[in-house]
Amino acid sequence: MANAIATERLRKRFAKWDADGSGSLERSDFVQEAAEIAQAFGKSATSPQARALTDAFTSMFEQVAKGAGSLSEEQFIAAAGPLVEAGAESKFDQVLGPVVKGVVGLCDQNNDGQINGEEFATWLIAVGVDESKTATLFEQVDKDGNGELSVDELLTVVRDFHYGKSDVELLG
């Protein structure tokens, strides 16, 4: 079983991802979510970066749903719980890595594959984080201190959040 914080965070994630508010997750929720994220970064839903995020989200949904067309909250918790249990880190990375990479693609304005301070501020503002916190958060995510956030560094933070090890929420 995933721990209580991890389960609670899955519930929050469910509510966030149920983009049409139908009470269940469907592929269409992820198409909508990707379009909303793209819009938050000022990119059109038909841009290559938005398409890449849509593909990453829908393939993540398919991996979690395992062929089911729709997941209720309980079904989602049951299906995603094993990804947020101690020992499942590499599986989590496999499923969520492409999504984080997709968000990086949308946010990476200078196209160097990494997120600098300015790009990160745009990201956090898009997910509703107070602008005054961006510099501190940047330092927390930039584990190697090179002034750029890599996909791996960002994925680690998303994973730590979902494992209940950190309170830094990067996916809104």
Q: How far is the CB of 85 from Ca ion (least distance, A)?
A: 25
Contacts of 15 by beta carbon, 8 Å cutoff, 6+ apart: none
| CA count, 13 A, side-chain hemisphere, 12 | 12
- Contact with Ca ion (CB under 5 A) among 2, 9, 13, 29: 29
**140 or 146: CB nearest Ca ion:** 146
Q: How far is the CB of 135 from Ca ion (least distance, A)?
A: 15
Pick the stretch among 8-16, 49-57, 60-68, 143-151 that binds Ca ion (CB under 5 A): 143-151
**142 or 169: CB nearest Ca ion:** 142
Pick the stretch among 45-53, 76-84, 105-113, 162-170 that binds Ca ion (CB under 5 A): 105-113
Q: Is 46 in the site for Ca ion (CB under 5 A)?
A: no
**Is the Cβ–Cβ distance between 10 and 82 less than 8 Å?**
no
166 exposed, middle or buried (CB, 10 Å; 0-12, 13-18, 19+)? middle
Q: Is 33 in the site for Ca ion (CB under 5 A)?
A: no
| Alpha carbon distances (Å) from 142 to 4, 136, 150 | 28, 10, 8
**139 or 144: CB nearest Ca ion:** 144
DSSP for 105-159? HHH-TT-SSSB-HHHHHHHHHHTT--GGGHHHHHHHH-TT-SSSB-HHHHHHHHH
Q: Is 20 in the site for Ca ion (CB under 5 A)?
A: yes
* H/E run at residue 24: strand 24-26
Pick the stretch among 49-57, 83-91, 100-108, 127-135 that binds Ca ion (CB under 5 A): 100-108
Q: How far is the CB of 3 from Ca ion (least distance, A)?
A: 26
Pick the stretch among 28-36, 57-65, 73-81, 158-166 that binds Ca ion (CB under 5 A): 28-36
